[in-house]
C-alpha cells in the first residue's frame, strides 16, 4: 500500500519503513520526543525548524488534526518518524469531534515527509547513547551509500541562527480568540511586546488571558523601536537553532534589560543568559516532551513541564546578578533564573504547556505582577 522508505543517520545506522506524508526527502537533525499526545502541536512548533522529530509514543494520529491546535500557520518540523501512524478508513469519522483531516493528509498537504513502521524504540535508544544525529528520510533514493554520503553533509545545529528566519517579517497585533479574553472585559490591562524568534501561538493566548494587549515584532527589531512603542513589558519566546549565533537579539536584550520588565521562555531564556554574559552548550539529545520534572526553588514544588530544546545555559558561566530559580530533576540542568538588579526572569521549559500539564502556567501571572510592580 505504501512505498518503502529509509531513515539514514549520518553515522551509518539505517532504519527501514514506509513512506508517509509528502513524496519528497527530508533532512535535518533527528531528535525524539516523549509526549504521549500533542503530535500536531509538536509538528507545528517553530522550535522544531530544521529537525526531524521521532515520536516515542507507539500510536500517533489517532485523533486527527484540527486548525484549533496549531502552534503556527503550518507544520515547521523538517520531517517526522512514527512507529504506527493511524490511517482513517474511508467514510469512518475520527474519534475526536474537532478533527478535520488525518495527520497523514496534513503532512502531505503541507509538504512534510514522514516515515512509519520502523522501530522507534531502537532509534530512541541509539539517539540517547550517541546523541542527536543528522539524518535523511527518503523514498526517492534508496541507495544507502548515497544517502549516507548526503546525511554526512547535513550541517550541525551548532552555529545555526534559525531564530531570525522562524518568526514574522512585519510587526502585528495579536487578536486572541474570544475564549482567551480576560474576564474583566476586552480592555487590556497592559501592553506587551513579543520578539518573534518563532513564538508559539499558545504563548500569545496565555498573555492575552492575563489582560495583555500583545504586539509581535520581528526578531531583528532594535531595542529603540520597541521602546518607542512604550510597551509595559517584553516577552522573549521560544525559537529554533543555536542561541549563541543570535548576536543581534542578544544585543537587543542587553539594551532592554533594566529598562522594561522581561520574561524569557526556552530560547528567550538562553538569550537572556547570553545578554547577562553567560554561555550555552549543546545537550547530547536535548529535552523534548511533556513529562520533565523541574524543581521550583521559590516554592520547593516539583513542576511537570513541557520542554523542547537542544541547548542549555551553563549556570557556572552566569554572573552573580543572576540567581537560579528552577532545576531539572532528571539531569540537574538549569531550568530558570531571576535577575537580581532588574525586573527580569526566565525559564527553560514551556509554561504554556500546550499540550501537557498546566501547573507552570502561574509564571504568566508572575510576569503580569512584575509589570504591575514596575509601574
Annotated catalytic residues are 266, 350, 352
Q: What is 273-321 written as a DSSP string?
A: HHHTT--EEEEEEEEEEEEEEEEETTTTEEEEEEEEEEEEE-GGGS-TT
CA separation for the pair 361, 244 (Å, rounded)? 28
Phi, psi angles (nearest 5°) of residue 12: 95, -5
C-alpha cell, 264:
524569557
CA angle 148, 111, 241 (to 5 degrees): 65
- Preceding peptide of 233 cis, ω within 30°: no
Q: Which of 225, 51, 219 is nearest to 137 (CA)?
A: 51
What interhelical angle do 201-209 and 362-374 show, nearest 10?
Answer: 60
CA separation for the pair 318, 214 (Å, rounded)? 30
Chain centroid, CA 198 distance in Å: 8
**3-class SS of residue 190:** strand
- Cβ neighbourhood burial of 331 (10 Å; 0-12, 13-18, 19+): exposed
User: Alpha-carbon Rg of the chain, whole angstroms?
Assistant: 21
CA separation for the pair 357, 34 (Å, rounded)? 14
Which residues have CB under 8 Å from 307's CB, separation 6+?
A: 266, 287, 288, 289, 290, 292, 348, 349, 350
Amino acid at each position: 500500500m505504501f512505498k518503502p522508505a529509509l531513515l539514514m543517520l549520518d553515522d551509518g545506522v539505517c532504519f527501514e519503513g514506509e513512506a508517509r506524508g509528502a513524496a519528497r526527502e527530508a533532512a535535518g537533525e533527528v531528535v525524539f520526543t516523549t509526549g504521549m499526545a500533542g503530535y500536531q502541536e509538536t509538528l507545528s512548533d517553530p522550535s522544531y525548524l530544521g529537525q526531524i522529530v521521532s515520536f516515542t509514543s507507539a500510536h500517533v494520529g489517532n485523533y486527527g488534526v484540527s486548525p484549533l491546535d496549531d502552534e503556527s500557520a503550518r507544520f515547521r518540523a523538517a520531517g517526522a518518524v512514527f512507529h504506527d501512524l493511524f490511517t482513517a478508513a474511508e467514510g469512518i469519522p475520527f474519534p475526536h469531534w474537532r478533527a478535520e483531516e488525518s495527520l497523514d493528509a496534513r503532512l502531505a498537504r503541507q509538504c512534510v515527509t514522514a516515515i512509519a513502521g520502523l522501530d522507534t524504540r531502537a532509534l530512541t535508544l541509539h539517539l540517547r547513547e550517541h546523541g542527536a544525529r543528522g539524518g535523511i528520510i527518503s523514498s526517492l533514493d534508496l541507495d544507502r551509500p548515497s544517502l549516507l554520503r548526503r546525511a554526512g553533509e547535513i550541517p550541525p545545529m551548532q552555529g545555526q541562527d534559525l531564530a531570525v528566519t522562524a518568526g514574522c517579517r512585519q510587526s502585528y497585533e495579536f487578536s486572541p480568540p474570544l475564549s482567551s479574553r480576560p474576564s474583566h472585559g476586552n480592555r487590556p490591562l497592559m501592553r506587551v511586546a513579543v520578539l518573534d524568534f518563532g513564538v508559539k501561538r499558545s504563548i500569545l493566548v496565555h498573555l492575552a488571558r492575563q489582560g495583555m494587549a500583545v504586539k509581535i515584532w520581528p526578531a531583528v527589531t532594535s531595542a529603540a523601536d520597541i521602546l518607542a512603542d512604550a510597551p509595559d513589558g517584553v516577552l522573549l519566546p521560544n525559537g529554533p537553532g543555536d542561541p549563541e549565533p543570535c548576536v543581534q537579539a542578544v544585543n537587543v536584550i542587553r539594551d532592554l534589560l533594566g529598562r522594561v520588565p522581561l520574561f524569557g521562555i526556552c530560547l528567550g531564556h538562553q538569550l537572556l543568559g547570553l545578554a547577562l554574559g553567560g554561555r550555552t552548550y549543546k545537550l547530547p539529545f536535548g529535552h523534548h516532551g511533556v513529562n520533565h520534572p523541574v524543581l521550583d526553588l521559590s516554592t520547593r514544588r516539583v513542576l511537570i513541564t513541557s520542554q523542547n530544546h537542544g541547548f542549555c545555559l551553563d549556570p557556572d558561566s552566569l554572573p552573580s546578578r543572576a540567581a537560579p530559580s528552577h532545576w531539572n530533576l532528571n539531569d540537574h540542568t538549569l531550568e530558570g533564573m531571576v535577575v537580581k538588579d532588574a525586573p527580569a526572569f526566565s525559564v527553560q521549559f514551556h509554561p504554556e504547556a500546550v499540550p501537557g500539564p498546566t501547573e507552570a502556567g502561574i509564571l504568566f501571572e508572575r510576569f503580569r505582577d512584575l509589570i504591575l510592580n514596575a509601574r
